[in-house]
Amino acid sequence: MSIRVVVAASGAIGELVLRPWTADDVHPLIEAYRDPTLRRWTRVPVTDEVEAEAWLAEQARGSASGRRLSFAVDEFGPGGARLVGNVVLKPPGTTDEGRAEVGYWTAAPARGRGVASRAVDALSAWAFGSFSRLDRLELLHHSDNPASCRVAERAGYAFASVVTEPPPGTASGHLHVRRRTRPDAGPEDA
Ligand SMILES: CC(C)(COP(=O)(O)OP(=O)(O)OC[C@H]1O[C@@H](n2cnc3c(N)ncnc32)[C@H](O)[C@@H]1OP(=O)(O)O)[C@@H](O)C(=O)NCCC(=O)NCCS
Query: Is any atom of ligand 1 closer than 6 Å to the C-beta of 111?
Result: yes
Contact 190, 178 (CB under 8 A): no
Picking from 62, 115, 53, 118, the residue whose alpha carbon sits closest to that of residue 90 is 62
pLDDT the model gives residue 88: 97
What is the CA(97)–ligand 1 centre distance, in A?
29
Task: Find, among 179, 151, 34, the residue nearest to 87 by Cα.
Answer: 151
Model pLDDT, residue 96? 66
For atom 22 of ligand 1, the residue with the nearest CA is: 147
Cα 49 to middle of ligand 1, angstroms: 27
32 versus 94: the higher-pLDDT residue is 32
42 Cα nearest atom in ligand 1: 42
pLDDT digits (tens, 9 = 90+) for 113-142: 999 999 999 999 999 999 988 999 999 999
- Is 141's C-beta closer than 6 angstroms to any atom of ligand 1? yes
pLDDT category, 17, cuts 50, 70, 90? Answer: very high
- pLDDT tens, residue by residue, 45-88: 999 999 999 999 999 999 999 889 999 999 999 999 999 999 99
pLDDT of residue 164: 84
pLDDT tens per residue, range 142-180: 999 999 999 999 999 999 999 887 666 666 799 999 999
